[in-house]
Every structure is written in C-alpha cells, then in structure tokens.
C-alpha cells in the first residue's frame, strides 16, 4: 500500500491534474536544477545566519570581558 503524504494532498487540492501527471503518469515538472540551486542557496544562507549569531554572542562576551578588565584593573 502506498502512503500519501500531506504535501501530496496539498498538491492535489491545488491542482488535481498536476498531481495526476506527476504521481500517476510519471511526468516531472521542469526546473529541477533551479530548485536544487535554490535549496543550496537557502542552506548556505542559513549557515551564514547561524554563524553571524555565534559571532554576535562572541562579541558580547569579549565586550563584557573588556569592561570587567577596565573596571577591575
């Protein structure tokens, strides 16, 4: 028995013919390379955002250390 995912139900509700062409007739939509590139760019951007958050925390810690050193020297 084949499992139907929630995304397939959404795809069917949006366009039943497109769902049938993809799932039953085996046609794949064009632009797979473009979607893969978009996914890779989103992953890269997510990593950059995470890194910037870590660098912000590091900067705040170093600022705190600097303030402590100035007042307790």
For residues 65 and 73, give the distance between their C-alpha atoms in angstroms, rounded to a whole number. Answer: 12
The answer to the question of residue 31 being in a domain is yes
> Are the beta carbons of 8 and 19 closer than 8 angstroms?
yes
Residue 1 domain-assigned? no
Q: Work out how many domains the chain is built from and give that number.
A: 1
Two tokens at 32? 């797979």
Average confidence score pLDDT of the chain: 92
User: Residue 48 belongs to what domain range?
Assistant: 6-71
Q: pLDDT tens for residues 16-27? A: 998 899 888 988
Residue 29 — pLDDT band, cuts 50, 70, 90? confident
In contact, 11 and 18? CB cutoff 8 Å: yes
Closest CA to 29 of 18, 20, 38: 18
- In-domain check, residue 10: yes
55 located within any domain: yes
pLDDT recorded at residue 73: 80
34 located within any domain: yes
In contact, 19 and 12? CB cutoff 8 Å: yes
């Amino acid at each position: 028995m084949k499992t139907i995912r929630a995304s397939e139900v959404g795809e069917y509700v949006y366009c039943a013919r497109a769902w049938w062409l993809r799932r039953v007739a085996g046609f794949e939509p064009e632009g797979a390379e473009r979607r893969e590139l978009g996914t890779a760019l989103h992953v890269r951007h997510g990593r950059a955002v995470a890194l910037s958050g870590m660098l912000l925390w590091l900067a705040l810690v170093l600022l705190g250390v600097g303030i402590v050193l100035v007042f307790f020297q």
